[in-house]
Amino acid sequence: MFDRRTTEALLMAAAGLPILLVHVLLDASRTGAFGWSALLVPGGLIAAFVLAHLAIRWRAPAADPVLLPLVMLLSGLGLAWVARVSPEQADEQLTWFLVGIAMLVLTLFAVPSLERLARYKYLIGLAGLALLVSPALFGVEVNGAKLWLRFGGMSFQPAEVAKILLVIFLAAYLAEKREVLSVSTRRVLGIWLPPARQLGPLLLTWAVSLFVLVASRDLGSSLLFFGIFLATIYVATGRASWVLTGAVLFAGGATVAYSLFSHVRTRVEIWLDPFADVTGRGYQLAQSLFALADGGLIGLGIGKGFPERIPFVETDFIFTAIAEEVGLIGGVALILTYLVFCMRGLSTAARARSDVAALIAAGLVGAFALQVFVIIGGVTRLIPMTGITLPFVSYGGSSILANFVLLALLLRAGDAGTGLAAEVQTATPSPAGTLGRIALSRRLARLGSVIALLLTALIVNLTWLQVVQAEALVSHPANTRAILIEQRTPRGAILTSDRVLLAESVPAEDGTYARRYPLGAFAAHVVGYHSITLGRSGIEAAANETLAGRRDFQTLGEAIRVAAGIPTPGADVALSIDSAVQRAAEEALAGRRGTAVAIEPATGRILAMAATPDFDPGAVATRWQEYSAATDAPLLNRATQSLYPPGSTFKIATLAGALEEDVATPSTQYPGPGRMEIGGAPVTNFEGGSYGLVDLRRATSASINTVFGQLSVDLGAERLVAQSERFGFNEPLPLEIPAAVSVMPDPAQMTTWETAWAGIGQPVGEHDRPGPQVTALQMALLTAGIANDGVIMRPQLIDHVTDRAGLVISSNRPQIWRTACSSATANAVSEMMVDAVERGTGRAAVIRGVKVAGKTGTAETGGDATPHAWFIGFAPADNPTVAVAIVLENAGTGGRQAAPAAREIMQAALGR
């Protein structure tokens, strides 16, 4: 077994590792590189603690071995984050730590025993009271509270020293009067009280705490000192009624102060609703809550937070700065460190050799724990905010010096082998004393339970903020932190499959990054936009996590870089888009409203997706009002979001259904008059053309409505809708970006006449979802399914993702989405589509030397409006490599307008 000091040395070595790591990571976040120079400051601090360890070996060899390593850990982390949030104050903070360690050693030499120190209790008590009330009389106001004295250029917070002096006074007084105070002589309101003359000093303490509340304008300091009073008197007497009475008195005083004094009321109102005036008096607390929410479970990364947005972050809100960057996990670890310190301090009190030493240790631990609770509870909105500091972590010389003295007194209380022999003998317990010590141990255990509950409440509240409420706080309208986070990190690039750059991030002079779109509006609806004020769309939105930087790190080095706060570029996203095909699609649409989609049938890779009018993603922020108010909706991706009547292009679905269900064959004949009654209402051909008796092959190439009306009725509404659903209708499309659902009506509600027109591609009748209504993407998938032997592949816009070195992180493999029909049916339909191009309405899509399959469509839009022009097709028909769907809004007939535009797109895909 190791002795106490050896154990202390080993624990200090363990504590030194996280201290060094945090300092190195913070230095790397500032400089962008790892350097040995980052170890100099924490190394000097650790060396000073080693000297303190040697002094303890000499002057307090039996003291608790855990306290000093815990303080070293807290001090090292505190110094790191003070340097993080206020670099100009880091050297001063290090100096205070060195002076504090010297005060620790000096106290061990100057105080040979706590029993001797207690002899001067009244002098110490008066000094403590004087220090406590001095800021109220002579102090300066900082952040709404009067807690500071200022001498020239130096500031001093006397409450830090006052708490220790008052603990010593209370402990010494209660140790001397414990038996008298434990004996009740009168009953007031059901509570037994000791002799009145013994209550004077205690009532004075209560009165002073209320004076501090009113005059110093700080509820936290008042609560801290009255809490010390209650904790110490309970440990001394064991009377819970005293604690209850004191709590009621304090609550009454606080209520009166709330009613009478505006500054107290303001603090409470900020606590109740910091968002009522989020840019004014509630700003500080609101920013703290936003920071905690951004930190979440694992934090933003060391050096990646925004502590500069919180006023007084290096003092009052240092815990927020830490929890923002290391998350709930780090924040809880810090609170647990304080809890372990308190439990070890109470263990010291339990084994102290005298009542006065035990009470001093218990009072110091109570003061320490309550201070931790008050400051963390304030910045996390568990209780109203205060102006006190977080022990060993916040910036401030008076706090550091006072807490090192506190540590020295705890070490002295735990060093049972110190003092004169006569004092040791006096401390030897008698049977009665043994019983008293057992009772004292029980009270200390209860105090420990209260402290554990208080710090557990901090953990529960922190979990609520950083996990449960995090999303709501992050999305709060007043929270603009996400904008800053995105500006700091370079997003990955977006490229076409042939490596044409579509989007990239470029550095600005202030260290942030701006999004740039080198080709302007090219493929704008696919790429989308990324704006710090307007949000994201397209691939910028769909692949945001990938572009912004992956969290499932590929290497240990990458994980360390992110932990250090070094900006980690996002991964690059390579699209399936082919720049030549995309350019041809955009040129085919130029000057007209419409959309075109080109797909590789065997893989589902989208080679082109164009829509006009379009927009410049780089100008969205400056032209948002113009874009959003335009009647032709340039921001709308017509390929995926606009629903159109498909016109005669839908006849391919009707034809596939009829062949699949053996309702007809390509040679089946139907009459093709210019007009005929079906279901009691007329069905007409385009421009009234009459064709006599024709087979389905001829009806398809000539696009005869009356024939397909009869075919649709023969197929029936239920089977017609079922076939359309096999092509993907009435179901969300599995695409990376949002896509509208192409619809068909409920077959049970369709009349014969409605069924006839639906098979022709014209939605008629009144239904919840009149159909067919389609997106261009859906029709491109239908076409690709026919081209691919009846199998529709899952559509994909993202081909693969690469890291910044060009190595492939992930790639999309072709996947079957659905089987629309048999290969025999698909081949039969393909042959009829070839006839439609070579001898029918689609002759304008002919490509010399290539067999093209296609179908035109002229979709009526109602009234006198010019119909939409459609064309769907694929090439080469005998070995398809591209399938196309194009619709030109109000452009006229598909054969005259859409077919030649589609030909240009197919030629580009074929490299012709």
Calpha distance 472→786 (Å, rounded): 47
Average confidence (pLDDT) over 192-208: 59
Taking every pair of Cα atoms in the chain, the longest distance, rounded to a whole number of angstroms, is: 129
Three-state SS at 695 = strand
Calpha distance 875→850 (Å, rounded): 7
724 as an active site residue: the answer is no
Condensed to tens digits (0 to 9), the pLDDT of residues 833-881 reads: 999 999 999 999 999 999 999 999 999 887 778 999 999 999 999 999 9
Calpha distance 694→707 (Å, rounded): 8
Please check the confidence at residue 755 and state whether its pLDDT lies above 70: yes
Could you tell me the pLDDT band of residue 420, with boundaries at 50, 70 and 90?
very low
Tally helices (H) and strands (E) across the chain: 34, 24
pLDDT attached to residue 212: 62
Calpha distance 388→374 (Å, rounded): 8
Calpha distance 199→204 (Å, rounded): 8
Lowest mean pLDDT among 207-221, 393-407, 689-703: 207-221
The DSSP code sequence of 681-722 is EEEE-GGG----EEEHHHHHHHT-HHHHHHHHHHH-HHHHHH
Please check the confidence at residue 428 and state whether its pLDDT lies above 50: no
pLDDT attached to residue 435: 42
Local structure of residue 147 (DSSP, 8 states): E
Distance of CA 416 to the CA centre of its chain: 51
Residues whose CB is less than 8 angstroms from the CB of residue 349 and which lie 6 or more positions away in sequence, other chains included: 235, 357, 358, 359, 361, 362, 365, 413, 444
Is residue 902 within 8 Å of residue 656, measured between CB atoms?
Answer: no
Catalytically annotated residue among 347, 497, 648, 742: 648
Calpha distance 817→725 (Å, rounded): 12
Please check the confidence at residue 169 and state whether its pLDDT lies above 80: yes
Lowest mean pLDDT among 216-225, 472-481, 850-859: 216-225
Is residue 98 within 8 Å of residue 48, measured between CB atoms?
Answer: yes
Residues whose CB is less than 8 angstroms from the CB of residue 123 and which lie 6 or more positions away in sequence, other chains included: none
Condensed to tens digits (0 to 9), the pLDDT of residues 63-99 reads: 999 999 999 999 999 999 999 988 888 889 999 999 9
Calpha distance 251→358 (Å, rounded): 29
Lowest mean pLDDT among 81-85, 417-421, 498-502, 835-839: 417-421
Nearest to 600 by CA among 350, 390, 784, 459: 784
The DSSP code sequence of 610-623 is EEES---GGGHHHH
Calpha distance 20→38 (Å, rounded): 8
Question: Other CB atoms closer than 10 Å to residue 699's CB: what's the count?
Answer: 26
Average confidence (pLDDT) over 263-272: 78
Average confidence (pLDDT) over 41-63: 93
